[in-house]
Amino acid sequence: SSNESSSDSSTSSPPLPPTPEHALPGVLFSQGSWYIPFILDLEHVGITKGHGPLTEAAHLLTQISPAHKQTMEKLSEALLCRDDSKLRDMLYGPAPPTVAYNVEVLYSMVMPSSDTRLERSRSFQLACVKKAPLLVQCLSDKDFLNNAAPHTRRVGYLALVRLAKLSLFTLGHLFEILAPDGAEVTLDKDFRMDVTILREALQTVPNHSCELIVKAIAEKLANALGEQVMTAGEESESVSSLVWWRVPTAATVRALYALAYSVAQPSEMSGMVHPDDVILVRECMEVVTICMALGGGHLEALLHESWWQDTALYLMIDCPNPQVRVSCAEQLLAMCAWGGG
């Protein structure tokens, strides 16, 4: 008996040693079912109790850990579901830190860092574009990230604005495909889209490498959606409903300017604008540009709004951060190039 057992042990292959990465705390957190939700709850407790060190420590833990596996699974199900209710629940139901984390994970799924994963994310990207009405609604909805701490709003809105930008740029390129030779897309008697203005707006993307990636992905997604329009079935219906969706309204533009204005205020302690807030302002202004183009480019009406005059005056002249002033002025000049709509 002992000989048999020794023979078995000598012929069987030794177990593979665990890789060091699997034992890292962040990886363990992301794979476990309750670690990340518990840490997010701690962050919320820290915010509500005014406990700065607890809030900061919990937030940093979620930032250095890979995306939570169960959150990714829930978001995958919500994205690929025709109904918006599951995604809406994840964007409105939980406490602000969890909502912001959900949006961050969603962005990482739609726009992963590696090129190989980027190609595999195509289904997520298409599904995300079809959720554009919900994502854009969040931008102007006061209930979204209501009463969130500054750092929570920063990370949540940055991911949301970037998702909205990808969706809206894709929609813009889709309208180009639908009107390759004409100057207008007529959706109904009350709404016409000037594709000439839209085409100019799509060419004014700043020459940053990350923006060029977004533009290239948006063009690919628009081509895929254009092909789906030609087919029969649920996919065609979902794209058609997206085309007939009334594109971002003045309320969305106003909300983006309000968000940019609020985050462009210098910190009381440092007297400076947070670097991530500078990026958020730039992203907001780029989304404003595409929103205006999708809405017909009616810049003249915007210029006469008193709220816009006050907001633009601060962002382009009074804000102490030069990058904020430049990014806002750049986008306004780009819109002026359309001739006012």
- The pLDDT value recorded for residue 4 is 47
- The pLDDT value recorded for residue 183 is 54
Distance CA 177, CA 191 (A): 18
- The pLDDT value recorded for residue 2 is 46
145-203 pLDDT, tens digit per residue, is: 988 888 889 999 999 999 999 999 898 888 888 776 555 555 544 445 566 777 777 77
What length does the chain have? Answer: 341
- The pLDDT value recorded for residue 7 is 44
Give me the residues of the chain with pLDDT under 70, please.
1-32, 114-120, 180-195, 204-210, 232-236, 243-247, 296-297, 338-341
- The pLDDT value recorded for residue 87 is 93
C-beta separation of 95 from 44 below 8 A? yes
The domain segmentation of the chain, as residue ranges, is 248-341
